[in-house]
Amino acid sequence: MDNIAEGSKINQKTTRCLAAAAYSNPFFRTHAIRTVLENELKAVGPSVGIDLETVLRHCLDARAAKRRRDWIPIIIGFLGAPLSFFENYDAIFFLHFLGIVICLYVFIRDSWWCDITMASRNLSKHSYNPDRTRPLSSRDAKRVAQAQAYSTGNVVTYSGFSPFVGSGIDMGGWSFSLDLTKKKAHTALESPLDFRIDELYDALDKSVASLDLDHLSFREQLYINGQDVGDSPEQLPNRLGAPLPSVPDSKFKELRESGGDNLYRFYKSYSVTDWGGDLVFTLFLRIRKRRDNLFVESDYFLLTPLQQIYTSVDSLPKNPTFTQMCRVVGKGILFAIVYTLLWPLVLLIKGILFLNRYQNRKKAKTNAKQRGDYDYGAVQTLREFAASPGYHRYFQKLDTSMYQKLLELKVLDCVVGFLDERGIETTDIRERQSTILNHGVVVSGGEVKVGSMSFGQQAMATARGYSTGGKPAGNQT
């Protein structure tokens, strides 16, 4: 079961800011298009915390406008080059002057469109109109739809160590195992009752949903490393194409019940989105039943707020000021002068970049064809790329802690209650539950480990630590 929240309202701030960055930040725009749309062999990570389709549409719209703008001085330069052979200097001067005027108009108009029309009047917090883009070509529309499909698919193909691409910073977690043959004391049952894993997942969904948190979403997905996806023909039917975003429902249900196999791992996730998409806390849960034992694993991840470079659109006034308009016009004039004088260099750079992209695509396809361990996985999502290393507000840290504790409590209480109803001894879980909820660690063999402090002898804590400062912590050793 998937309960995916509507991104248009929940993630409005982050989506709006990144859509505005498509016009003001050429590095972000280029990164978005190259890594998401033009990387033909790589999977796309799940879009958490933004409406990916909206951001990509604005990136393509901005790129198309910049391309039209950049080619004007190049075309004028080519047309004006033969004029140097004529001796009618008045005509030459007039035509050059006309070319300069056209360039000034085009560049000032482009600067005004990006900074005033789009940023101030359509993508600011005072006025948000995400659909104000030019229609996409059929090819671009198809590529955007393919990228968006990965956000709703049932498989995540990841690259590198951590499977939870798109979810942000590793905030720690815990795990425990339990003997299912131990009968609970003081029960009328003759022996513990058997159960299916999907029954426990369904109970967890109902328990977590009872929190009634705003913008809570459930997801169920399989995770596979990009270097292993070549061993799954049903997900990678063409080695010279990207992996499919989903596997057949029959295979998904089989892996859901078993918890996964050597290629795929199944995880249930509960995500809470807050602060307009600036904060996304996710609990990943994996439950596996092996013969007479139950294994439960939980991992926490956090998407932090956007870097301030991407939120500059929020500092724009509701109505453009005279100073702002002068700055926009001045920027257009400066770019027009530079591009008009250096159009041969601009053309050379465009040619070099085109050849470089062509060589990279050719090299990637050769590697995919020849190497059995070619990595088709997603490395990072746009939301992760734009995320800051820590919180911006003190209350964001407190809200993260609140969501963590609320979800922990519901998950652990549900597992204990579910097993109690089936006559299974849960004393060990109850003892560990108190430690997890209060300290974020699991006690094993008499030792407690919190951060760099440990007490007891020859024991190992299976939980990972949390930061108490303004910056979320990663794994603690």
Looking at residue 83, its pLDDT comes to: 64
> Distance between CA 269 and CA 222 in Å, rounded?
11
Looking at residue 156, its pLDDT comes to: 94
**Strand duo 216-225 + 155-158: pairing:** parallel
Residue 280 lies in a domain: no
Span of 92-101, 128-137, 266-275, 278-287 with lowest mean pLDDT:
92-101
Looking at residue 62, its pLDDT comes to: 92
Residue 349 lies in a domain: yes
Looking at residue 223, its pLDDT comes to: 95
Instruction: Answer yes or no: is pLDDT of 37 > 70.
Output: yes
pLDDT in tens, 135-171: 888 888 899 999 999 988 999 999 989 899 999 999 8
pLDDT in tens, 316-374: 887 888 888 899 899 999 988 888 888 889 889 989 999 998 998 888 888 888 888 89
- Who wins on pLDDT, 450 or 122? 122
Looking at residue 437, its pLDDT comes to: 67
Q: CA nearest 227: which of 30, 358, 66, 379?
A: 379
Residue 323 lies in a domain: yes
pLDDT in tens, 121-145: 888 888 888 888 888 888 888 999 9
If you average pLDDT over residues 45-64, what whole number do you get? 91
Residue 315 makes CB contacts below 8 A (sequence gap 6+) with none
Instruction: Answer yes or no: is pLDDT of 101 > 70.
Output: yes
Identify the domain containing residue 40 by its residue range: 7-145+314-385
The domain total for the chain is: 1
- Who wins on pLDDT, 261 or 59? 59
Let me know: does 422 contact 432? Beta carbons within 8 Å.
Answer: no
Residue 28 lies in a domain: yes
Enter the pTM of the model. Answer: 0.83
pLDDT in tens, 248-269: 888 898 888 887 788 899 999 9
Q: How confident is the model at residue 467 (pLDDT cuts 50, 70, 90)?
A: very low
Instruction: Answer yes or no: is pLDDT of 306 > 80.
Output: yes
Phi, psi of 282 (to 5 degrees): -130, 130
DSSP 5: P
Residue 190 lies in a domain: no
Looking at residue 210, its pLDDT comes to: 93
- Who wins on pLDDT, 82 or 152? 152
| DSSP string of 178-242, one letter each residue | EETTSBPSS-S-SSPPP--HHHHHHHHHHHHHTT--TTEEEEEEEEEETTTGGG-TTT-S-TTSP
